[in-house]
Amino acid sequence: MDIWIYFTLLAAFMQAIRTAGQKKLSAHLNSMATTSVRYVYALPFAWLYLWWLLEFKGHEMPELNASFVQSALFASVAQIIGTACLITAFRYRNFSVATSLAKTEAIQVAILGATFFAAPLSFWGWVSVIVGVVGVIIVSKVKFNTTDLFKNPGAGFGVLSGLGLAITMLLVREASLALNTDLMISAAVTLVFMITVQSVISLAYVAIQNSAQLPLMLKHWRVCTFVGITSVIGSIGWYTATSFHNTAYVKALGQVEFFITLFITYRIFKESISKMEYLGMFLILLSVFILLLWA
């Protein structure tokens, strides 16, 4: 298999685990503090990963050009907004609607990439993305109706989260390719640059908005460290995969995250799976086969 597939599967698995940690953490911290934890506690591990690549892989640190800085800065802000919207969506009662709409990130990446980033998909690529999104929505047990879509704030935050994260990944690829160096290194440099910027921005915002959250971020350091480590490993996967391949295909394959989450949940809690959930999982797997075999 191509290298981007391995990194995408790694990212999907770690993101499924990290999301569980963020859900738990959101019970103790507000949305922006929980978002900040993702960056602050991941920062030292991101620098350590870059150092390891440079020292033990024999690569040199590339020069940061204007194109890279611009794309990376915009991506940093977009990811903060997308993550904050997702965590805010967690707080609303209709959780399944909000989180499922956030998972429309894959189709939003495909549309934005084809429209603004000169990254079109093949016919089978579009089929894979659409089938996967439908599968995720079915597995989520979402019951869409007018009230959910127009009166549930969680639904709005879900869509905004998907949009913010879609823009983030498209800009991450732009930033990484702008460095014109080994893609493993460019992905790592992009990751370190963005997490550093995001740590400063999010911490400053938390300090101004509600400084009482700062000691809580230290108090719950175990969960915060868990979120930070799983976040940085997941980000290494996403950033490296999207540096090697079209972002829309990466996010389409990344939809297996939902399948992984469901599998882990049922293995742990021994819950039964409904026929509709089996259908949803089948569609997610079908989308992956279409992507890998024909797209």
Could you tell me how far CA 81 lies from the centroid of its own chain? 12
Phi, psi values for residue 119, rounded to 5°: -130, 70
Which one, of 235, 81, 93, 231, lies nearest residue 163 by Cα? Answer: 81
Which residue do the tokens 């949940």 mark?
265
Q: Quick one: pLDDT at residue 226?
A: 94
Burial class (CB in 10 A: 0-12, 13-18, 19+), 270: exposed
Q: Quick one: pLDDT at residue 8?
A: 95
CA distances from 9 to 2, 35, 49, 84 (A): 12, 23, 19, 24
- Rounded CA separation 159/146 (Å): 15
Which one, of 7, 249, 215, 228, lies nearest residue 114 by Cα? Answer: 249
In tens, the pLDDT along 3-24 reads 999 999 999 999 888 877 877 8
Under-50 pLDDT residues of the chain: none
CB atoms within 10 A of CB 207: 12
Q: Quick one: pLDDT at residue 100?
A: 65
Q: Quick one: pLDDT at residue 97?
A: 57
Do residues 89 and 148 make contact, with C-beta atoms less than 8 angstroms apart? no
> Which token pair is 133?
């999104």
Cβ contacts of 201 within 8 Å, gap of 6 or more: 76, 77, 80
Q: Quick one: pLDDT at residue 7?
A: 96
- Rounded CA separation 160/221 (Å): 29
Q: Quick one: pLDDT at residue 34?
A: 87
